[in-house]
């Protein structure tokens, strides 16, 4: 709930190294993930999400979990890692965690394309 009410990582990184935009208008969620890379590690990560409470909370959580990790390790973050971080996630909202994973992946792909 806190990750919905007061997400710590909500925002934009102006000089991001990678930006990933994912979403599915059908389920109503649009997510933008910004990553900053230093020495192969994710040094900063922020998000902007239009979506339900779960989509906002999972966006915030993946930032929490991924920050400080190497790119490869960050890509290995599982849906379970996000759920564990949040405590719980209702069954119908499981896809939100999937969207967060996709967002990170898209940001990394964007970074790799440019570097």
Partner 1 sequence: MSKKIYLDNAATTPVAREVLEEMLPYFADMYGNSSSIHSFGLEAREVIELSRERVASFLSSKSEEIIFTGSATEANNIFILGALKGDEKAHVITSAVEHDAVLETVKNSGADFTVLPVDREGRVSLEDLKNEIKVETALVSVMYANNEVGTVQLIKEIGEYLKKENKKRTRKILFHTDAVQAVGYLPANVEDLGVDGLTMSGHKIYGPKGVGLLYKRKDLKLAPILFGGGQEGGLRPGTYNTPLIVGMGKAVELLESETRKEKTEKLRDHLIEEVLKIKGASLNGPRTERLSNNANFSFSGVEGESLVMLLDRKGIATSTGSACSSKSLEPSHVLRAMGLPDLEAHSSLRVSLGRSTTEDDLEYFLVNLKEAIERLREISGR
User: Which residues are at the interface with partner 1 (CB under 8 A)?
Assistant: 4-5, 7, 10, 12, 25-30, 32, 48-53, 55-56, 92, 95
Distance (Å, whole) CA 28 – CA 15: 28
Q: Is 27 a catalytic residue?
A: yes
CB 105, min distance to partner 1, A: 20
The active-site residue, picked from 96, 99, 100, 104, is 96
The answer to whether the beta carbons of residues 10 and 47 sit under 8 Å apart is yes
- Beta carbon of residue 29, minimum distance to partner 1 (angstroms, whole number): 7
Residue in 27, 30, 83, 94 annotated catalytic: 27
Tell me which residues are annotated as active site. Answer: 27, 96
């Amino acid at each position: 709930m806190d990750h919905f009410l007061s997400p710590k990582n909500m925002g934009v990184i102006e000089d991001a190294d990678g930006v990933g935009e994912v979403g599915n208008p059908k389920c109503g969620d649009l997510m933008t993930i910004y990553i900053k890379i230093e020495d192969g590690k994710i040094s900063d990560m922020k998000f902007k999400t239009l979506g339900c409470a779960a989509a906002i909370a999972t966006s915030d959580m993946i930032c929490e979990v991924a920050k400080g990790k190497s790119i490869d390790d960050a890509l290995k973050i599982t849906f379970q890692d996000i759920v564990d971080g949040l405590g719980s996630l209702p069954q119908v909202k499981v896809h939100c965690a999937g969207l967060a994973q996709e967002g990170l992946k898209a940001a990394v792909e964007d970074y790799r394309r440019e570097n």
